[in-house]
Structure 1
């Protein structure tokens, strides 16, 4: 998640191409990167504060569900990278929930 945030912040070609494909303005790259960075930091902080990790993982799951909606909206059916990131976020949420229950 942190690497994806850095890619958004630095203007890497991949997030730009995805934004163009999905009709997302490039001006959204920094705010979206900030959400990814906050989620990544929250996951790390969750090692010390489990509730924070659970909330961060839940936020990332919601973020990637929104990304799925954006892909479906434009008819893009290439879900490989999305599935990888979503699976990581969902797994982090499942582990955090299992740890706190």
Structure 2
């Protein structure tokens, strides 16, 4: 069966594998552990944000970046999960550099 439950199980397994790999930033790990626990339902964005002292929007941002990195790692085994800018990353164009309308 290739329904939503199957996809959800695959996502949870990929996230749990990333957590077990022990190469996540502490904040990213904390977000993923609350949103994708080993058992049971994950915390809502509001609950995770309250637990971690951040807004639900920030929890969503961190989660999205981590999930994108996990998906990239799955397509390129051995790729590091990086959710912040650091050495070796190419900066994108900023809004300031685009010019006015």
TM-score interval, normalised by the smaller of the two chains: 0.3 to 0.5
- Where relative contact order (Cα < 8 A, 6+ residues apart) is larger, the structure is 1
The structure with the larger Rg is: 2
Hey, which of these two has a bigger chunk of helix by percent?
1
The TM-score, its normalising length taken from structure 2, stands at 0.35
